[in-house]
Amino acid sequence: MVPKQLRQRVIRTRLEDLQAELEAGARQIGRIAESTADIRSALLSRHLEQAELAGNLVRRIAELQDSIHEQRAILTELRRAIREQITRSRRSST
């Protein structure tokens, strides 16, 4: 049979060990939380940068599409004017 004092000392030692492990676990959780916050911040920053780049790209594509439509309209008008000029030229030469 184990003497009462020895049992109490073993229990106290185990409780102290458990307390130390809990404190170490709490510190580790704190470090993990900080790392998680840093990672989340970096990911958000990168996401925002990419979103800005994507937004700029979409705007630039829209501008280029508008430019193409304008150029097509100008080209169509130019062709019409040339045909009209050719028609006038033919009429005046006959």
* Helix/strand/coil (H/E/C) assignment for every residue in 13-32: HHHHHHHHHHHHHHHHHHHH
pLDDT band at 79 (very low <50, low <70, confident <90, very high): very high
What's the pLDDT score for residue 93? 77
Q: What does the CA dihedral 67, 68, 69, 73 come to, rounded to 10 degrees?
A: 100
Q: CA-CA distance, 14 to 10, in Å (whole number)?
A: 6
Render pLDDT for 5-64 as a digit per residue (tens, 0 to 9): 988 999 999 999 999 999 999 999 999 999 999 999 999 999 999 999 999 999 999 999
Largest Cα–Cα separation, the chain: 134
pLDDT exceeds cutoff 90 at 4: no
The CA-atom distances, in angstroms, between 6 and each of 9, 11, 20, 35, 63 are: 5, 9, 21, 43, 84
What's the pLDDT score for residue 75? 97
